[in-house]
Structure formats: structure tokens, C-alpha cells
Homo-oligomer: A and B are copies of this chain.
Amino acid sequence: MAVNKYYTITELTREFGVSTRTLRFYEDEGLIHPERRGRTRLFRSADRRLLQEILRGRRIGFTIAEIREIINVYKEPPGELGQLKLMMNRIDEKRSELRQKRKDIEETLEELDNAEEACLTRLAEIGVST
């Protein structure tokens, strides 16, 4: 079965457009934990999916620390009540933050539309005189 397929580090760097340094850095930071054959890293598809999430967080603009936090949130929620409430608070914070960002993005998209229209108008003006 192809279930046990490994990805080498360079396969992943090529697929996602990141450097090997980046992947090693993420491992140092405790974001990913690829297996080893000797010293060589072997990535499973679970690692691959995790990397996808990390890079999504990166694109959004989260710091490593924030990404780590979100990853932990995905894992099992803690059994202790206080921890659980803390976690739910953090989830709430992240959610507000993301909603604000989404709003910012939508406003900026509108402004880009306006800017494009202005360009088209100007283009028409020039086009006429060409």
C-alpha cells in the first residue's frame, strides 16, 4: 500500500515553495516532528497536512508562537477545567482577530476595485487619443 509513503524534505520544499531551512526551523520550533531514519528526516502525509496548516497560518500573518498555539488547540483539548477555559478564551481572541482581518481585507479589496476603475477610465482617455 502507498499508505506508508514518505516525503523527503526537498519534495515538500518543492511542493510548497519553502526552503529546507524553513522546515528545519519549524522542527526546531517544535511545530513539526518528522520521523528519522538515521539522521535523515522522513515526512509522512500527516506531517504534510500539518505543514499546510502552518503555511496557512503564516500567510495569514501569524507568528510562530501563534501558529504553535493554534496547532495545540487542534490537538486534544485539555482535561483540566482552568486550562479548558483559558483555551476557549484564546479561541475567542483569535476569532475576533481573524474577523477584523477579514473585514480589513474586504475593505481593501473594494478600494482596489475603485483603483482599477480609475485606471480603466484613464486608459479609455488615453486610448481615445491614441
Contacts and interface: CB of A to CB of B under 8 A. Distances in A.
Interface of A: 53, 56-57, 59-61, 70, 73-74, 76-79, 81, 84, 87-88, 91, 94-95, 98-102, 104-109, 111-112, 115-116, 118-123, 126, 130
Given A59-B101, A74-B115, A102-B109, 14 more contacts: A56-B108, A70-B108, A73-B112, A76-B118, A77-B119, A79-B122, A79-B126, A81-B126, A87-B119, A91-B112, A91-B115, A94-B112, A98-B105, A101-B101
5 contacts: A53-B111, A59-B100, A88-B116, A88-B123, A95-B109
What is the total number of copies of this protein in its complex? 2
